[in-house]
Amino acid sequence: MVNKMKKNTDKSEIVISMDKICKSFPLEMGGDQQVLFDITFNVKLGEFLAIMGPSGSGKSTCMNIIGALDSPTTGTYKLYGRDISNMTSDELAIIRNEYIGFVFQQFNLLPKRTVLDNIMLPLMYRGMPMDERIRRAREMLARVGLEKFETYLPTQLSGGMKQRVAIARALAGDPKLILADEPTGALDSKMGNEILKFFKQLNRDLGITIVMITHEFDIAKYADRLIHIRDGHINYDGPIPKNDNNL
């Protein structure tokens, strides 16, 4: 259950601006392999966007650029109006910590640390005082309905509970953007649907901007907008279609 908090309301504000993004990687035998071609789109505040594509389509490379884990070869990427296209790795690390909350397929929780410790970890890197870290982590646990599990280890939780802890960790830093990479990939269909409904609730009730990466149309349908990438090109950008026959 999502606790009440102030909802983001300025739907005109652009969170992500990708303008003619291209990405190439060097090949061992010489030359380059281009994997993204002129990727251009905007994401406004409060959108729930799914980026979908088959394996090798370029969607993961696109995700890495959105998440400030990599930089484009050419083109401009602005996050909240700030051009981060050519930042150094150290500068990108600061951007990630300040703007983005990540939710990964494999949860990425520390198995020997408690649930509360896992949520507090990114707050430590921000230099937040311990008492404030604890308060914030407990607040996030309550938001995802796991306030009774703060002393548990991740190994004592179900897959769905682990992903909720990962969501609480992503929310703890009050990010401008949640980037979810195949967030149900390690869950069964029932647990996966619960997590997707929870993302939907976060987006609807709190106005949190969410970009979700997936290769499955049934998962993408939980979003409100779909970008489909094939062979490094966007071949669809619009509302969720009735089916994926034409993607």
> 163: how many CB neighbours lie within 10 A of its CB?
28
Please say if the pLDDT value at position 223 is more than 50. Answer: yes
Tens of pLDDT, residues 50-74: 999 998 999 999 999 999 999 999 9
Whether the pLDDT of residue 5 is over 60: the answer is no
Place of tokens 């484009």: 72
Q: Quick one: fold of 14-105+175-239?
A: Rossmann fold (3.40.50)
Q: Residue 218's pLDDT band (boundaries 50, 70, 90)?
A: very high
What is the end-to-end Cα distance of the chain in Å, rounded?
34
CA separation for the pair 24, 10 (Å, rounded):
35
Sequence spans of domains, the chain: 14-105+175-239
| CA–CA dist 146, 203 (Å, integer) | 19
pLDDT in tens, 191-202: 889 889 989 998
The dihedral sign for the CA sequence 199, 202, 207, 209: negative
Q: Is the pLDDT of residue 132 over 50?
A: yes
Q: How confident is the model at residue 119 (pLDDT cuts 50, 70, 90)?
A: very high
Tell me what the mean pLDDT of segment 150-170 comes to.
92
Statement: residue 38 has pLDDT above 80: yes
Asked whether the predicted pLDDT for residue 3 surpasses 60, the reply is: no
Residues 6+ apart with CB under 8 A from 167: 103, 144, 178, 195, 198, 199, 202
Tokens of 12: 């005109």
Sequence length of the chain is 247
* Residue 176 φ/ψ, nearest 5 degrees: -80, -20
Q: Is the pLDDT of residue 203 over 60?
A: yes
Calculate mean pLDDT across residues 208-218. 94
Q: What is the pLDDT of residue 127?
A: 81
Q: What is the mean pLDDT of the chain?
A: 90
For residue 142, which amino acid is it? Answer: A
Say yes or no to pLDDT of 233 above 90: yes
Write down the pLDDT at residue 1: 44
Q: Is the pLDDT at 235 greater than 50, yes or no?
A: yes
The residues near 69 (Cβ < 8 Å, ≥ 6 apart) are 63, 92, 96
Tally the C-alpha atoms within 13 A of residue 39's C-alpha that lie toward its C-beta: 33
DSSP codes of every residue in 3-18: PP-PPP--TT-EEEEE
What is the identity of the amino acid at 160?
G
Give the pLDDT of residue 125.
78
Residue with the bigger pLDDT between 165 and 245: it is 165
Determine the average pLDDT of the residues in 87-99.
Answer: 91
The DSSP call for residue 162 is: H
pTM over 0.85: yes
Whole-number pLDDT of residue 8: 53
Q: What is the pLDDT of residue 7?
A: 52
Q: Are 92 and 69 in contact, with CB atoms under 8 Å apart?
A: yes
Report whether pLDDT(10) > 80.
no
Helices 159-172, 189-206: inter-axial angle, 10-degree rounding: 20
Residue 159: name the closest of 120, 110, 202, 107 by CA.
107
User: Using CA atoms, how far apart are residues 42 and 15, in angstroms rounded to an integer?
Assistant: 8
